[in-house]
Amino acid sequence: MKKNSFLLVVMISFLVRLHAQDDLLSLVGEDKPKKEFVEYAFKSSRVIMSHSLEVIRPGVMDFRILHRFGNINGGAYEFFGLDNATMRMGFDFGLTRNLMIGIGRSTNKKELDGFAKYRLLHQAKQGGLPFSLLFAGGGSLTTLRNTDTTRKNYFSSRMGFYGQAIIGSKLSEGFTIQLMPTVVHRNLVPTVNDPNDMFAVGVGSRLKLSRRLSLNIDYYYRINPNEADGTKNPLSVGFDIETGGHVFQLHFTNAVGMNEKVFLTETTNDWTNGDIQFGFNISRSFQIKKKK
């Protein structure tokens, strides 16, 4: 009897001590490992033409200049394309950890454009999600003077829109790949045979070559193009070079346009014919709001 009473007292003391420890943990907070997200899948918020898996950090403004020269096969008379050029100047802003917006203006068709990009899922290490999922959407407005007097032109005829999902993963420290299902809507199309809604699937990848150098590839396969209009699937190949606060990119492409509507629906250059343009992108980030 005494032995049983002794065991009962020991058990009660143990439970009281365990309960006291739980109360203490509830006061001070139990240490839990923080989720570590995968960063720098790409060095920039763009692969080359396309949105990448990256989102600009909150309070940061990214000033971007995109520059494309003429076709290399223009020969020496055109200085291998360097005599001609188109460009886009843009400003991108990080609003939250997962949301960014941007605006820009292109010399090609004097287009204004804007977009928003939101990261819904973020790839994480040690048992977290193995991929990231983002959504991007935007629109563009052509400001060229209207020269077609054969029909009535509305303001909405100048506009186009796109929506895109970006699913990708940084598979290793040196390699990233992403898929980009995309739809482009044009309010006005050149002919009745051209679809107002163009569907495409893009792929973007990054191969790290050194600490500051990577090889990037950006390609779209268009699902329902008008085969008779002579447009081609856009392909770009380039090198990202990080130089401190700058990301400098050299690339070759068959796309003249620098927003989704134009490079998906109006690319007429053909890589197999040597219709290739040399270009460069410059990205410079500024901290415009103090970090918390």
Is-contact 190 166, C-beta < 8 A? Answer: no
pLDDT attached to residue 292: 62
CA distances from 142 to 124, 149, 184, 195, 261 (A): 40, 17, 15, 19, 11
Region 60-287: CATH code = 2.40.160.40
The pTM is what?
A: 0.83
The predicted structure's pLDDT at residue 56: 94
Q: What is the mean pLDDT of each run of 10 residues along the chain (292 residues)?
A: 46 44 44 77 93 95 92 82 87 96 93 96 90 96 81 83 97 96 93 91 96 95 90 95 84 91 93 91 87 66
- Phi then psi for residue 16, to 5 deg, are -65, -40
d(CA 47, CA 202): 11
Compute, in degrees rounded to 10, the torsion defined by CA atoms 237, 243, 245, 247: -10
Q: By the 8 A CB rule, do 159 and 184 touch?
A: no
**Predicted local confidence at residue 26, as pLDDT:** 44
| DSSP codes of every residue in 281-292 | EEEEEEE-S---
- The position carrying tokens 């403004």 is 61
Distance in angstroms (rounded) separating the CA atoms of residues 254 and 77 = 20
User: For residue 25, what pLDDT is reported?
Assistant: 38
Contact call for residues 260 and 138 (beta carbons, < 8 A)? yes
